[in-house]
Structure 1
Amino acid sequence: MGREFLTIFDDWAENYDDTVSGLDPEYSRVFAKYEEILEAVVHHTKGPVLEFGPGTGNLAKKIIAAGYEYIGIEPSKAMREKFRKKLPKVSLYDGDFLRYPVFSIPIQTIVSTYAFHHLTNEEKETAVKKFSKTLSDNGTIVFADTMFRSEKERLNEVARAKKQGYTTLAEDLEREYYPTITFLKQLFKRNNFTIEMHQMNDFVWLLVAEKKSE
C-alpha cells in the first residue's frame, strides 16, 4: 500500500521543501517546474477535493487558496506534523490510497503528486476501482507523478543516475513501482474513465481522468 516507504518519508519530511525547490541537485530534474506542476493540478481541480499524500502541504495551500473545500490523506506522521504547521485548521487524516475514511461531502476531485508510484500495479488497480466509488458523478482524478513511456526509458534513467553518482535517485528508480504511460491509460479506461496525459518535465506527467456517467 506504499506504506513500505514510510520510513523514507518520515526521514525526508524535514528537508522535503528544500528538495522540491531545487536545492538538491540529485533530484533537480525530478522536481523541475515544481510550482508549475502544482498549478496545473489546481487548474484541473473542482471541489470538494480529496488529496492523497499531501506531504508538507504545498499543493493543499494552492487548492485552498483557490477556494475549494479540502481533505488530505497522509500516511507519514512526520509529514502530517509538517503539514499541520502550515495549515493547522485543515482536515488531514492518517491513511493511504487504499485505506481512508468515508466522507459525507461529495468528492468531486481526487488529486495527488509524486505518490501514486508507491503502489504496485495490482494496488493501483484496486485504488482506481475505489476512486470510482469515492468520486461523485462526473468526478475527476488529477495526478502528477513520475512515469515513463516504456520500461526501457526507466532503465535509461537508472543508468544515467548511476553514471552521475546519484545513487539515491538510482535506488528510488529501481525500488519503487513507476508505471508506464500505456499501463495507466489502460488502467483508467477499463475502470470507466476518459484520460488525458501531458508531460511536465523529464520525469513527471500530468494525468487527468474524468469519470464517465453510469
Structure 2
Amino acid sequence: MSELEWDFDSWVRTYDEDVEREDWIHADYEEVLKLVAERVGGTVVDIGCGTGNILCFLKCERYIGVEPSRGMRAKFKEKHGFEPLDGHFLSIPLLDGTADAVISTYTFHHVPDEEKEDAIKEMLRVLNPGGRIVIADVMFESEKEELRIGKEDGTLDEVLDEYFATVEGLKELCERLSLQCNFKRINRYVWIVEMLKPAQSLKRS
C-alpha cells in the first residue's frame, strides 16, 4: 500500500458494536472468526488485528497482532493488556520465519488490487516453511459475480468503493507463487482462503 488511509482511529469508539450488527460485510462475524481460529496454531500473526476480537477464539502458543491504526492499538491494549505492533500488510515488523500462521479477518480488502501480490509475499516472508496464510473477507468468485451481487443487493456503490478480491484472482496469484490454496464460502459475501507455504522456502525474486 503506497499510502494506508484506513482511518480506523475515528471508528474505534463504535467498532466492536458495529461489527456485531452483522451488516452485509459482517454477516456471521463470530462464526467466521471461529473458523479462522480453528485453522491455526503455534505462533500466529494477525494482520489488521483491530481491537483483537479473534482472541476470544484463538488457541495458540503465541499471538502477535499487527495494526496500523493508533486508536485501534490503544483499544486493543485496553481490552487485552498488551499492544499490537505498528505495521500493515506491506510492512510487517517481524523477522523472516517468525510465524506458523498469518491470519487476516475483514481487512484484506483495504489492499489495492495491484498490491495484493506484494502483500501475500510479505506474509509469506514472516512464515515458517510449511506455514499457512488464512484470510477471511468479503470476496467474489469473479468480477462479473461482484457486479451481479452488488446490483441485486443494492450494495454496488459500497462494493466498488473497496478492493475486494476475487477467487479467480487469488487462485491465479497462488499459482504464480507456487502455493496450494483452498476456498470456503461462508455466506453470500464472505469467503475464507487458506494458502500453504511450501515446506521448502520460496526463493525471493
TM-fit CA distance, 1:4? 4.0
TM-fit CA distance, 1:187? 0.8
190-199 or 170-179, larger mean C-alpha shift? 170-179
Unmatched 5+ stretches in structure 1: 163-168
On the 8 A contact 2:109/2:165 being kept in 1, the answer is yes
Summarize deviations over 1:7-63 as a string: whole Å, max 9, x none. Answer: 2x22221111112112xxxx5232121111111101110220011001111013422
The structure that is helix-richer by fraction is: 1
On the 8 A contact 1:46/1:68 being kept in 2, the answer is yes
Q: Within 5 Å, which residues of 2 pair with 1:1-214?
A: 1=1, 3-7=3-7, 9-22=8-21, 28-63=23-58, 66-89=59-82, 91-103=83-95, 106-162=98-154, 170-214=156-200
TM-score (norm 1): 0.85
Counterparts of 1:134 and 1:67 in 2: how far apart (Å)? 17
TM-score (norm 2): 0.89
Q: Which residue of 1 aligns with 2:203?
A: none
Q: CA 1:3 to 1:41, structure 2 compared with 1: closer, same or farther past 3 Å?
A: farther
Q: CA 1:98 to 1:104, structure 2 compared with 1: closer, same or farther past 3 Å?
A: closer
Q: Give 3-state SS (helix, strand or coil) of 2:6's partner.
A: helix
Please tell me the residue identity of whatever aligns with 2:75: K
Counterparts of 2:39 and 2:165 in 1: how far apart (Å)? 22
Counterparts of 2:86 and 2:132 in 1: how far apart (Å)? 23
TM-fit CA distance, 1:161? 4.9
CA RMSD of aligned residues (A): 2.0
Q: Give 3-state SS (helix, strand or coil) of 2:5's partner.
A: helix
Q: Which residue of 2 aligns with 1:166?
A: none
103-112 or 39-48, larger mean C-alpha shift? 103-112
Unmatched 5+ stretches in structure 2: 201-205
Q: Give 3-state SS (helix, strand or coil) of 2:141's partner.
A: coil
* Bigger RCO (CA 8 Å, 6+ sep): 1
Percent identity between the aligned chains?
36
